Amino acid sequence: MLYPKTTEEVREMILAARHSGGGLVPVSSGPPHFHGASVNPNAETLDLSRMDRVMAIDRRSRYVRVEAGVTFGDLLPQLAAHGLRLNLPFLPRPSKSAVASALEREAVLMPKYQYDYPDPLLTVETVFGTGDVFRTGSAAGPGTMEENTSDKVIPWGPGPFDYYRFLGAAQGTIGVVTWATLKAEVAPSASRLFFIGSASPDPLLDLAGKLLLDRVPDECVLLDRTAFSMAFAEPGQEDALRAALAPWTLLCRVCGYERYPEERVDIYGGYVADACAAFGLTAETEPPFPVDPAQIERMLTDCDRRDTYWKLRRGDERELLTLVPPSAAPAVLAEMSASQPDAGFIVSPQVQGRAFRIECGLYFEPDPRQAEKAEETLFSLAGRLVPLGAYFDRPYGRLPELLYSDPLARGAMKRLKSIFDPDNVLNPGKLCF
Amino acid sequence: MSLPKAVYEELEKVVGSRNISDKEYVLAGNRAQTPEIPVRHRSADAIVLPGSTEEVAEIVRICRRHGVRYVGTVSGGIPTAYATEENTILIHFKRMNRILEINEKDRYAVVEPGVRHVQLYPEVRKRGLSYTAAAVGPGGSVLVNIACTGGDHHNQYGSSRPTRYLLGVEMVTPEGEILRTGSLEAGAGWFCPESAGPSLRGIVKGYSGNAGHIGIVTKCAIALDRCKGPAATRTEGVSPHSRIYMDDECSRVYVFNYSSIQDVGRAMLALGESEVGATVQKYFYLPLSLMMTSSANEFWEKWDGFRKAFPMPLVVHLAPHSVREREYEEKILFDVVRETGGVRLPRELERWWEEHMDYFMIVSRLQSVLRLGGSWLPIKTGGESVRHLCDIGDSIREFIHDFTDTGKIFDAPQNYQIIPMEYGHFASFELLFMWDRTDPNSFRYMQEFCAASRETDLKHHAHSMTAGGYGRAGEALGRLYCDCHLWAGRIRHSFDPDFDPDA
């Protein structure tokens, strides 16, 4: 294990690996690790947890710049103190690196703020596999990081290429990202959380699409009752909460900001109610759950700070992540839930409702045989989802076996790899490399 | 120099004899100089009109085999759409002009390069949808606009820059191979631009486009948004002497004048934080004045009054979902304007904006700007935070008066625009200047002005634009931008082995 503290140390370690012919795999989040991207028997681990500086929080231009080792648990309270918030994934663990979450294109909860799939990632500094330090977008220049007087927030470029896209979901195979600028949003001054239940996910998918087309909700996520109860129930209360839930619940939160916040909440709450009525659904603000709705709302805007991370309530978990367009979502979800009726499902509308990220989680007692069986089950399921329109853009574990069938696209990726990591130092053997 | 007969015949076999020509009168029509571009275009040796991606791929392979250069073109609105060297053919995409799909459920449209805004925009608008595209006019190519060039949209405050809306892409590489990116490469359709792993979307376009150097984009999908504003507009007259009627109670246009760009920036950020407005922009007052008048004489009559009335106009279009929300937005808007020192324009001036709302969609009056018979050039076409771009706006006065006060360029020192995007998370900038192209010294003045602008930005280490150029050719700026010219040269060379980054 290597523990760099500075970009220069990362650079030296990469150059040393190039010289020795060894491999390096960067990791920036603390345990538990779920996807295996940072597990590589052919590489030393480059642990970035000591790179934990919050470099800038800017309320006026609404961004935060953090080193790779800064976790949600540390960052969120600091942002709140500045009246800002992040576009978070659903109830992440506190040890999750904010930079890694954005780089991995984790599902975000507020799709109205997501204009493009890499959002909220803006600019990054990276050390390529060559050992060269590079900054993307407007952080590139002119001049050094200290000389450049811009806020370094424009993600595109420099020039005719989007370098930050080479690094996203690349599992550390192109460069080691040492810091990133992330888009932050104004923290609301008022809000109202709606619970919209349904026996089937299909009307809720359509409702989410309609609401997001009109840019109504801030947070918007669809859960089945297994995932809902695992996430929000008090210990020992999972079954009671599950029994009180509809099979599927859309959580939809409307917000007001600094000026006339209550008025906005009233207006936008009305839009939610109107849309629900049009779909034959009901939006409730105080459902008869054995959990306080206010607590659910607080949890939606934070990481999971309880002793046991919600996905590990039964001890262990394996998950399958896929991305689908709205037209394919019902069929993909139907196949997943028919195949795995005991799984937990999180369906996150993305990019203003133009796609859904679906997470299918299998929860079980810690047991290597169970884990192996779960992995095999999910891989087999993934194979059946491809013809239904599922796209595995974050291919962990064995999923690369289902991808890269287009030799030209695979060759193009390898050309990029050979430019930025010619000696295959970074996470060797991952993806199609 | 004409194309060798054998090469011509090979190309003719691919596209058919009706779709290739080397006749002088055909070539002349495709090198005609447009008034705003101060260079004469070299003639291509032939022009071919492919009808499919496969034909494009075959053309590229033939060219490569025989060492013939090629340039793809549609509307010819930019200098890179013309031959610049001998032994070059034009690949014109006028036959590839099909809207292949408009998917309302998944909110995207798939187009070929020859599809113009005037084709696509009405089709998506009548479905209640819209898209952002750089304001090039109805004749511009949708695909080129979004996949191949830079450019910003006047309406991007409540959405984003066109580059955010590029989804799956099909392109022909310089080696004549057909490359598909994003979900398309995995057979999952057009909806996602990102690859599974290092994304090939990154080679298609960065801040600027790559002008076909990495490949010719033959199909692309663009994401569609809800159309903000009235679903239908009643119109009267014929462009440019036309007006539209804002019959929708939810749609309102307000224009305010400011005396300080920093105050404009404060207003933009405050509105963005409240997510109020569909369009917010600090527009340039010279083109605006030209568009507001119907002849050069009328312009000269009114220009002095206009320049005093709105040297720094902040334009706001409200397009909420209900009258109640409009009233809520108006309350915030007027609070913000009062706090930041804006002054509302007289109603007769403001009304012009309302009556030309198509300006916010796709500019159809842009040609009016050339009425004075000069040339124009946009510079500082970069993006950054609203705060940084307002600082850049302030810095223009450090050099511009040397040119405006001496008549080297048109005397309009505040003629720049700042258009926020993503509700003020960042913005785009453009300093547009005009000059008299009949003046024999004008080309030199233009170059001097560009150099002064660049020197000022570098003095302040301001990010007023991105760095372009591949390999050694981009060294002057690239070395100030993390040596991006070297990386760009390597990427280009890896897809086009004939390109020499050290040349």
The pLDDT tens digits for A314-346 are 999 999 999 999 999 999 999 999 999 999 999
Q: What is the DSSP letter of B18?
A: G
> B39, B64, B92: which is the final residue of a domain?
B92
**CATH code, domain with B68:** 3.30.43.10
Q: Where are the alpha helices (DSSP H) in A121-170?
A: 163-167
Decide if pLDDT at B369 tops 80.
Answer: no
In the prediction, which pLDDT does B77 show?
A: 77
- CA-CA distance, A87 to A101, in Å (whole number)? 10
Q: Does A409 touch chain B (CB under 8 A)?
A: yes
Q: Is A407 exposed, middle or buried (0-12, 13-18, 19+ CB in 10 A)?
A: exposed
DSSP A231-268: HHSPTT-HHHHHHHS-SEEEEEEEEE-SSSHHHHHHHH
Q: B179 and A412 in contact by Cβ < 8 A?
A: yes
CB contacts of A395 in chain B (<8 Å) are 196-197
User: Which residue in B166, B184, B482 has the most chain A C-beta atoms within 10 A of its own C-beta, making it the best mutation to test that interface?
Assistant: B482
Nearest-neighbour CA in chain B from A240: distance (Å): 37
Decide if pLDDT at B239 tops 80.
Answer: no
CATH fold label, A7-186: 3.30.465
- CA-CA distance, A107 to B271, in Å (whole number)? 28
In the prediction, which pLDDT does A235 show?
A: 87
Q: Which has more pLDDT, A97 or B284?
A: A97
Q: Going by C-beta distance under 8 Å and a sequence separation of 6 or more, which residues neighbour residue A226?
A: A242, A342, A343, A344, A345, A363
CB contacts of A183 in chain B (<8 Å) are 422, 425
H or E stretch at A225: helix A225-232
Percent over 90 (pLDDT), chain A: 94
Interface of A with B in 167-226 (CB under 8 A): 167-171, 173-174, 183, 186, 209, 213-215
In the prediction, which pLDDT does B7 show?
A: 97
Nearest-neighbour CA in chain B from A23: distance (Å): 18
Question: Is-contact B147 B164, C-beta < 8 A?
Answer: no
Q: Does A89 touch chain B (CB under 8 A)?
A: no
| Structure confidence at residue A95 as a pLDDT band (50, 70, 90) | very high
Q: Are residues B86 and B119 in the same domain?
A: no
In the prediction, which pLDDT does B468 show?
A: 84
Q: Are residues B206 and B275 in the same domain?
A: no
Which of A165, A214, A391 is closest, CB to CB, to B199?
A165
| Structure confidence at residue B288 as a pLDDT band (50, 70, 90) | confident
* Chain center to CA of B114: 16
In the prediction, which pLDDT does B230 show?
A: 67
Percent over 90 (pLDDT), chain B: 70
In the prediction, which pLDDT does A395 show?
A: 95
Written as six digits, the tokens of A134 are 């590079």
- CA-CA distance, B340 to B268, in Å (whole number)? 10
Peptide bond into A293 cis (omega under 30): no
In the prediction, which pLDDT does B170 show?
A: 98
Q: Are residues B488 and B453 in the same domain?
A: no
| Residue B233 lies inside a defined structural domain of this protein | no
Q: Please write the tens of the pLDDT for every residue from B388-407.
A: 999 999 999 999 999 999 99
Written as six digits, the tokens of A280 are 């034959």
Least confident of B66-70, B147-151, B168-172, B271-275: B147-151
Q: Are residues B114 and B77 in the same domain?
A: no
Decide if pLDDT at B373 tops 80.
Answer: no
Q: B322 and A325 in contact by Cβ < 8 A?
A: no
Nearest-neighbour CA in chain A from B307: distance (Å): 30
| Structure confidence at residue B242 as a pLDDT band (50, 70, 90) | confident
- Residue in B closest to A167 by C-alpha: B198
| Structure confidence at residue B307 as a pLDDT band (50, 70, 90) | very high
Decide if pLDDT at A273 tops 70.
Answer: yes
Q: Does B453 touch chain A (CB under 8 A)?
A: no
- CA-CA distance, B285 to A169, in Å (whole number)? 44
How large is the ipTM?
0.97
Radius of gyration of chain A (CA): 21
Beta bridge partners of B89: B46, B70
Question: Is-contact B91 B72, C-beta < 8 A?
Answer: yes
- Residue in A closest to B266 by C-alpha: A60
Judge whether A7-186 and A190-388 match in fold: no
* Mean pLDDT of all residues in A301-314: 95
CB contacts of A114 in chain B (<8 Å) are none
In three-state secondary structure terms, B100 is: strand
Q: B196 and A169 in contact by Cβ < 8 A?
A: yes
* Mean pLDDT of all residues in A192-220: 98
Written as six digits, the tokens of A20 are 């020795």
Q: Please write the tens of the pLDDT for every residue from A14-30.
A: 999 999 999 999 999 98
* Mean pLDDT of all residues in A156-178: 97
Decide if pLDDT at B359 tops 60.
Answer: no
Write down the domain spans for chain A. 7-186, 190-388
Written as six digits, the tokens of B431 are 């300093």
Question: Is-contact A283 A196, C-beta < 8 A?
Answer: yes
Angle at A190 between CA A184 and CA A193, to 5 degrees: 90
Q: Are residues B214 and B184 in the same domain?
A: yes
In the prediction, which pLDDT does B132 show?
A: 85
Q: Which of B23, B336, B281, B177 is nearest to A415 (CA)?
A: B177
- CA-CA distance, B476 to A239, in Å (whole number)? 66
Q: Going by C-beta distance under 8 Å and a sequence separation of 6 or more, which residues neighbour residue A261?
A: A188, A189, A190, A255
* Mean pLDDT of all residues in B26-53: 86
Which of A353, A403, A417 is closest, CB to CB, to B186?
A403
Which of B188, B205, B481 is closest, CB to CB, to A158?
B481
Question: Is-contact B177 B59, C-beta < 8 A?
Answer: no
| Structure confidence at residue B166 as a pLDDT band (50, 70, 90) | very high
Question: Is-contact B168 B218, C-beta < 8 A?
Answer: no
Radius of gyration of chain B (CA): 23
* Mean pLDDT of all residues in A392-409: 93
Q: Does B338 touch chain A (CB under 8 A)?
A: no
Q: Are residues B271 and B336 in the same domain?
A: yes
Decide if pLDDT at B363 tops 60.
Answer: no
Decide if pLDDT at B92 tops 80.
Answer: yes
Question: Is-contact B149 B209, C-beta < 8 A?
Answer: yes
Contacts 24+ apart (CB under 8 A), B389-394: B389/B265, B389/B418, B389/B427, B389/B428, B389/B429, B390/B261, B390/B262, B390/B264, B390/B265, B390/B418, B391/A149, B391/B460, B391/B462, B392/B429, B392/B457, B392/B460, B392/B462, B392/B464, B393/B261, B393/B418, B393/B429, B394/B261, B394/B262
Q: Which domain holds residue B483?
A: 467-503
**Which residue bears the tokens 């390529």?**
A128
Q: Are residues B293 and B399 in the same domain?
A: yes
Q: Does B468 touch chain A (CB under 8 A)?
A: yes
Q: What is the mean pLDDT of chain B?
A: 91
- CA-CA distance, B100 to A204, in Å (whole number)? 30
Q: Are residues B49 and B131 in the same domain?
A: no
Decide if pLDDT at A228 tops 70.
Answer: yes
Which amino acid makes up residue B246?
M
Strands (E), A129-216: 133-135, 175-186, 190-198
| Structure confidence at residue B291 as a pLDDT band (50, 70, 90) | confident
**Which residue bears the tokens 């008549």?**
B407
Phi, psi of B24 (to 5 degrees): -60, -40
Q: Are residues B308 and B416 in the same domain?
A: yes
Decide if pLDDT at B152 tops 70.
Answer: yes
User: Which residue in A104, A123, A156, A178 has the most chain B C-beta atoms within 10 A of its own C-beta, making it the best mutation to test that interface?
Assistant: A156
Q: Please write the tens of the pLDDT for every residue from B245-278.
A: 776 788 899 999 999 999 999 999 999 999 999 9
Domain tally for chain B? 4
Written as six digits, the tokens of A32 are 């538990």
**CATH code, domain with B135:** 3.30.465.10
Q: Going by C-beta distance under 8 Å and a sequence separation of 6 or more, which residues neighbour residue B360?
A: B154, B155, B229, B279, B317
Written as six digits, the tokens of A155 are 């993600």
Q: Please write the tens of the pLDDT for every residue from A361-386.
A: 999 999 999 999 999 999 999 999 99
Q: Are residues B12 and B52 in the same domain?
A: yes
- CA-CA distance, A395 to A35, in Å (whole number)? 9
| Structure confidence at residue A109 as a pLDDT band (50, 70, 90) | very high
| Residue B235 lies inside a defined structural domain of this protein | no
Strands (E), A246-403: 248-256, 283-284, 316-324, 344-350, 355-364
In the prediction, which pLDDT does B33 show?
A: 76
* Mean pLDDT of all residues in B378-397: 96
Q: How many helices (H) and strands (E) does chain B have?
A: 17, 21
Q: Which of B180, B162, B174, B182 is nearest to B211 (CA)?
A: B174
- CA-CA distance, A72 to B14, in Å (whole number)? 58
In three-state secondary structure terms, A284 is: strand
Q: Which of B253, B423, B276, B337 is nearest to A259 (CA)?
A: B276
Decide if pLDDT at B360 tops 70.
Answer: no
Architecture of the A190-388 domain = 3-Layer(aba) Sandwich (3.40)
- CA-CA distance, A318 to A378, in Å (whole number)? 8
Q: What is the mean pLDDT of chain A?
A: 96
> B42, B63, B92: which is the final residue of a domain?
B92
Question: Is-contact B448 B408, C-beta < 8 A?
Answer: yes
| CA-to-CA dists, residue A113 to A218, A220, B422, B424, angstroms | 8, 11, 8, 12
Q: Within 13 A of B437's CA, how many CA atoms are on the CB side? A: 16
Q: Is B335 exposed, middle or buried (0-12, 13-18, 19+ CB in 10 A)?
A: middle
| Structure confidence at residue A31 as a pLDDT band (50, 70, 90) | confident
